């Protein structure tokens, strides 16, 4: 276990998928939220971002369900996800991460009566889709929503922009470069496919931990931005502002 920061307190948030694009952004922002205690669970140790206020637990993924149940946090955040290439183009290997591992972690949290689950899905997620990626995300959403969480938030961002480590994704990199232009043409129902910095998603996740209404919520690009706006409106003014 590695740790950075001061004394623990406030709301406890557990993160799985810490080494991915959004997971790293969540860890990098942990120092900006002294009211939230962040614990990340990973299969291997990774350097903590500078200024992070959190702890990291290293465990075999087959034990993550038990670890989460023992921690019994207030919120579980899943930023888990692999790629078709990393899964060696094997459907079972792909679903073992994007579906099975996510649901196992969620079940551990549900067993411990964790109040809220926040998961990263995808625009177009549909359990009846013929596309493996979208079908897997849709099946994950459906399985998690059936568990005993008071609140479930599923984020469906469009193209995510940010630096990925050891995962070049050539087509996505090209799409990100072109996004300032292509986003201009994505209006109406196409707005949900617009690009979004991974850091915006991470900020929205922190904002959603403060939302108290119970239920099952799906957030597209506009709703993700709206979550940040609502948090800004609620934030009390600081001295000197």
Residue 6: band (very low, low, confident or very high) from pLDDT cuts 50, 70, 90? very low
Beta strands in 43-192 (DSSP E): 54-58, 75-78, 116-120, 151-155, 160-161
User: What pLDDT sits at residue 230?
Assistant: 73
Percent of the chain with pLDDT over 90: 68
Report d(CA 133, CA 141) in Å as an integer: 12
**Residue 192 reports pLDDT greater than 70:** yes
Mind listing the pLDDT tens digit for each residue in 67-101? 999 999 999 999 999 988 888 999 999 999 999 99
Confidence bin at 172 (pLDDT 50/70/90) = low
Tell me how far apart the alpha carbons of residues 124 and 133 are, in angstroms, rounded to a whole number. Answer: 10
Beginning with the edge strand found earlier in the chain, give each strand of the sheet holding 54-58 in spatial order.
2-4, 54-58, 36-42, 11-16, 75-78, 116-120, 151-155, 215-219
What pLDDT score does 85 carry?
87
The Cα 77–Cα 15 span in angstroms is: 5
Give the whole-angstrom CA distance, residue 43 versus residue 46.
Answer: 9
pLDDT of amino acid 173: 58
d(CA 204, CA 6): 24
- What does CATH list as the number for 2-232? 3.40.50.720
Evaluate if residue 232 carries a pLDDT over 60.
no
pLDDT digits (tens, 9 = 90+) for 136-169: 999 999 999 999 999 999 999 988 887 766 555 5
Between 55 and 191, where is the model more confident? 55
Taking the mean position of all CA atoms in its chain, how far away is CA 16?
A: 8
Mean of per-residue pLDDT scores for the chain: 87
């Amino acid at each position: 276990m590695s740790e950075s920061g001061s004394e623990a307190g406030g709301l406890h948030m557990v993160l799985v998928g810490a080494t991915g694009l959004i997971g790293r952004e969540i860890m990098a922002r942990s120092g900006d939220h002294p009211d939230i205690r962040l614990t990340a669970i990973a299969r291997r140790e990774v350097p903590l971002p500078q200024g992070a206020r959190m702890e990291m637990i290293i465990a075999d993924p087959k034990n993550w369900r038990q670890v989460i149940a023992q921690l019994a946090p207030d919120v579980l955040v899943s930023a888990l996800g692999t790629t078709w290439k990393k899964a060696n183009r094997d459907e079972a290997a792909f679903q073992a991460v994007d579906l099975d591992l996510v649901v196992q972690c969620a079940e551990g949290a549900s067993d411990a009566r964790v109040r809220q689950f926040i998961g990263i899905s995808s625009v177009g997620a549909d359990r009846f889709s013929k596309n493996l990626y979208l079908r897997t995300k849709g099946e994950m959403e459906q399985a998690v929503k059936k568990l005993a969480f008071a609140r479930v938030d599923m984020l469906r961002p469009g193209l995510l922009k940010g630096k990925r480590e050891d995962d070049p994704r050539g087509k996505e990199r090209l799409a990100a470069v072109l996004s300032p232009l292509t986003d201009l043409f994505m209006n109406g129902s196409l707005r949900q496919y617009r690009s979004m910095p991974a850091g915006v998603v991470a900020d929205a996740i922190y904002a959603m931990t403060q939302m108290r209404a119970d239920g099952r919520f799906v957030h597209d690009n506009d709703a993700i931005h709206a979550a940040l706006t609502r948090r800004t409106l609620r934030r009390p003014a600081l001295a000197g502002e």
